[in-house]
Structure 1
Amino acid sequence: MDRALVVLLAPHTEADVIRYSEIIAPLRALDSSIERTAEVLESMSILVDDRRPSYKDWLEKRLDGLAAGIRREAEGWNRTLRGGGPRTRPRDQATVWAYLNAVRPALLEWSERYDHLREVIRDDVLAHVKTLHGHERRQTLVALRSLFGWAKKNGIVFRDPTARIKAGTFEYSVLQPLQPQQVTRSVEAVRSPAARLALALAASHAARAGAIRALQLDDVDLGNRRLTIAGRTRPMDDLTHQMLLFWLDYRRRRRPNTANPHLLINQMTALETGPVSGWWIKHELHGQDATLERLRVDRQLEEALVHGPEPLHLAEVFGLDEKTAIRYADSARALLEQAAEVGPVGDISRAARVLYLIEGLNNRSGPLLAAPL
């Protein structure tokens, strides 16, 4: 970093600025981090980020092939989704991508006959969605409603052709509990203390991967055995307490001088203050049936099976919204009805699977942490 700053700042005067595009070549020649150097220059208020946003290239590619008028209208709608507008909040980037990808086949089809969105009628929308089924049909209708709703609001169309076209309800299948052997294979797959802690948090507290990544050291209260996940404070069970002690000991010995406030860190994030990546926290469970997400779902399903399929209880314990809590309760009720026909409810209880998890983690904790660092 020092060498990189010397090279970049040697010819620099007080009134000069440094453009992002100018630092790429010299830093690559020095094999120095472009991102880290840019952070330093930005903190000095002398960096000008002149990079072309990737969103522009993506948008141009997705709008290619549309009629000029339809292209202009679709671009205006998508930019409003991304950046917001009067009485319109910005949407998540994933939603911006998904909506345009969903309506693109319809827009390409209509571009062969029309020049503007105002020429599209209800029969055109019905003819297109008739070729779709299930989730794809519903996603396309939701995106088309967003597009034509924006167009009507801005005076581009006189009438919304998607009005009163029902998207239909999505029928969810019954959630199934994990089997003991699936949990055992995942326990055997994880090797690092961080992965084992993430496994315990998902299995015991139904924590999402994003919430685990966002955990900070201040969220852990070992003395009172309390843990705050996604803003909700809950008691800390023995398994989580043990895994936290193992991880904190490993973290302290491995990287004692890091200033990163997050609970989970790695070689890269120890040098900064951000969270670990989503890929890093999941990669040791790649290819397993009992992933972090499946373990989270299984924990919530187990709560409904053991304490009864009561949506209010699930919403209170895990902070679920109404529809999600009802879905878990419905799945638990269906499983309990099946168990009444084929065997006792205990056969599908998660207690045995938790024992597998605890036993597997405990048996392998000592040798791994005792290994040379």
Structure 2
Amino acid sequence: MSRVTVPDVTPIDSAFIAYVATQADASAETQGWSPALRERVQNSLYLLTAVHGPHETIKASTVATLPRQQNRRAVIRVTEVLAHLALLDDDRIDPLDAWIHRRLASVHPEIREEALVWIRIVRHGGPRRRPRSTTTVRNQANSAIPFLLACSQRYRTLRQVSRADVTEWLAQCAAPHTEAVALRDMFKTLKSERLLFAPP
């Protein structure tokens, strides 16, 4: 077992540090960490737990700011140990969420909110609907967003969209079937959520 170099930090609660270190050792044994990885993880956990009390969670963004000598693998293992102990506050930006909001940035605010209701249900599921994969969410959103942008130039809400609008849009699409599937799903979902009276 490698020597752990204890950083020069006065801990708030030594018992808490010892508890987390013991749990990390157990993970190291179970997962077969190398001595060097174990030392990096333990040093990092000491830095983090020394300045937190036993009832405080530690932000994932704080873990990501660990000293540069901690490689990516060590950061991942530290995050896993904290999550396993229910000590992690995962405040990392969700890449898919960031992508969705970036793509919808130019959509009219009210239409954007309506679209987000649909996307959240596609992504996370609902009472009678299973959540879909990240790829499906991206594909569905990609198919609908050009239509949402076009609607934003004329309307303030999807309740104003007519059947003629949809038909006209699909007639000029390169892949009308793909767009039609996405739009049908969107309007059907919004109707079930009572955000629309009837899908166009």
Aligned partner of 1:99 in structure 2 is: 140
1:40 aligned residue: 81
RMSD: 1.9
1:1-373 mapped onto 2 (5 Å cutoff): 1-31=41-71, 33-133=74-174, 136-161=175-200
Q: Can you list the C-alpha shifts for 1:45-92, whole angstroms capped at 9, x where unaligned?
A: 322212232233112111111122211111111111111122222122
Q: Percent identical across equivalent pairs?
A: 35
Shift of residue 114, structure 1, vs aligned partner:
1.0
Q: TM-score, normalised by structure 1?
A: 0.40
Q: Which residue of 2 aligns with 1:369?
A: none
Instruction: Give the AA of the match of 2:135.
Output: A
Task: Check 1:113–1:17 CA distance in 2 against 1; reply closer, same or farther (3 A cut).
Answer: closer
Q: Distance in 2 between matches of 1:21 and 1:38?
A: 10
Task: Give, as a single letter, the amino acid of the residue that structure 2 aligns with 1:156.
Answer: L
The 2-side partners of 1:99 and 1:20 are apart by 30
What is the DSSP-based 3-state SS (H/G/I as helix, E as strand, rest coil) of the residue aligned with 1:30?
coil
Structure 2 distance, partners of 1:115, 1:78, is: 19
Amino acid at match of 1:155: R
Gap change, CA 1:11 and 1:70, over 3 Å in 2:
closer
Alpha carbons of structure 1 residues 72 and 13: separation in structure 2 relative to 1, 3 Å: closer
Question: Displacement, 1:149?
Answer: 0.6
User: 1:17 touches 1:48 (CA, 8 Å); kept in 2?
Assistant: yes
Please give the secondary structure, in 2, of the residue aligned with 1:81: helix
CA drift at 1:12? 4.3
Aligned mates of 1:106, 1:16 — CA distance in 2: 46
Q: Which amino acid aligns with 1:153?
A: S
Secondary structure of the corresponding residue to residue 155 of structure 1: coil
What's the TM-score once normalised by structure 2's chain length?
0.71
Distance 1:119 1:97 in 2: 25
**In the superposition, relative to structure 1, how do residues 29 and 154 fare at CA in structure 2: closer, same or farther (>3 Å)?**
same
Q: Please tell me whether the aligned partners of residues 27 and 34 of structure 1 are also in contact (alpha carbons under 8 angstroms).
A: no
Instruction: Give unpaired runs (5+ residues) of structure 2.
Output: 1-40
**Whole-Å separation in 2 of the counterparts to 1:157 and 1:24:** 43
The gaps in structure 1 that reach 5 residues or longer are 162-373
Tell me, what secondary structure is at the counterpart of 1:15?
coil
Q: Which has the higher contact order (CA 8 A, sep 6+)?
A: 2
> 1:75 & 1:4 partners in 2: Cα distance?
38
Relative to 1, partners in 2 of residues 1:8 and 1:157: Cα closer, same or farther, differing over 3 Å?
Answer: closer
Deviations 1:200-259 (A, max 9, x none): xxxxxxxxxxxxxxxxxxxxxxxxxxxxxxxxxxxxxxxxxxxxxxxxxxxxxxxxxxxx
**Structure having the higher Rg:** 1
Amino acid aligned to 1:9: T
CA contact (8 A) 1:18 1:47 kept: yes
Quick one: distance in 2 between partners of 1:9 and 1:41?
10
